[in-house]
Structures are given as C-alpha cells and as structure tokens.
Amino acid sequence: MAEHPLIFSAPMIRAILEGRKSVTRRMSKNPDYYTGWKKGDRVWVRETWGIGCRPDPHTGDRDGIEYRADLEGLGENDDLPLYEVITPEHICLGDYASGWKPSIHMPRWASRITLELTADVRQEPLHTMTEPEAKREGVEGGSQDEDGNSLWFRLGFAELWDSMHPDHPWISNPTVSVIEFSRI
C-alpha cells in the first residue's frame, strides 16, 4: 500500500467531513502522475492549516493545529477547534510561527484526513460524469425532477470546475483522472 498527498479546497474538505464527497477528478500537467495509484492505496489530505493561531485558553501554549476549512459556520465569538496531533519526536509545535500555512506546505503528520482508494485511478473525458457521480463530488444540488432527483449536480460541478481550471474549462471536455475513495 502506497500513500499519496492530495490538496483539497476548504469547501471540498467540508464535503469530505460531512460524508458528501467520495470522488475527485483531477487535471495533471503530467498525465501519468496518477498512473499506478491502486485500490487500497491511501491518500492523505493537504489543507490550509496553522499552529495554534490562538493560544490554548488553559495553558497559553500554542499546542495544536487549526484547519482553515473549520472557519465556515463559526460565529464571531466561536472558537476554532484546536486539534492535538501526534508529531514526530524531532518536531516541536512551539518552533513554528503561528498563523495560516498553505496546504502545499502541510507535512504528513499534520493531516487530519486519510482516504483509502476504493478503485484504481482511471482516465476518462470529463463529460462522461453522470448526475449521481457529480453528486459524489460533494457539490450542492439545485432543483429536482418529479422523482426527487437533483438535476443540477453536473451544472454545479461544471461551475466549480471552470472556477478552478480556466485553461481547461468544462466545455473543452478534458481527460481527467478519477479518484474514488472512502474516508478512514
């Protein structure tokens, strides 16, 4: 079993945590990048993070990690959750400056989400995505048909895709890597 890092945006982190996201589609400058990612491999999620952006109210120490995705939904007086993590012996959180750090700089030990691949990664044209598959991407749905099925998950995903990939918009139907997973 291999482990691979993968960056997710704050809305997609929340969708994973809420159980709404179980697949991601990715562009890669190197089409072979995801080749060889096998069912059973693990993915550790990189996200925007910080070392105790506020001191612990009991000790005054900055002894945990905060995650930017947790900010949405908090009231003005709510505290951002502070997570204790198991760090390697040579790592001292006090050696890190407080404040937010980009997801690309998240070390493995700071990741709070691990995913397991439920299928080998496959390549396919973006437009082959069905409405149920778009729903598994974690996007919000719109109106519904007479059977209660959303008609807008693909549209919502297309809008999200275009906002993230202006050089490879939905309309161009690029070939993407499809990564299916479950949270462990």
pLDDT, tens digit (0-9, with 9 covering 90-100), for 135-168: 999 987 655 666 666 568 888 899 889 999 999 9
Structural domains of the chain sorted by starting position, each given as residue range(s) with its CATH number in brackets: 3-46+114-183 (3.10.400.10), 49-105 (no CATH)
What is the average per-residue pLDDT within 34-63? 79
pLDDT at position 151 is 62
Of residues 47, 49, 50, 46, the one with CA closest to residue 5: 46
Answer yes or no: is pLDDT of 78 > 80: no
Do the beta carbons of residue 88 and residue 38 sit within 8 Å?
no
DSSP codes joined into one string, 5-44: EEE--HHHHHHHHTT-B-EEEE--SSTTTTTT--TT-EEE
3-class DSSP assignment, residue 59 = coil
pLDDT digits (tens, 9 = 90+) for 109-138: 999 999 999 999 999 999 999 988 999 999
pLDDT digits (tens, 9 = 90+) for 30-48: 778 898 899 999 999 999 9
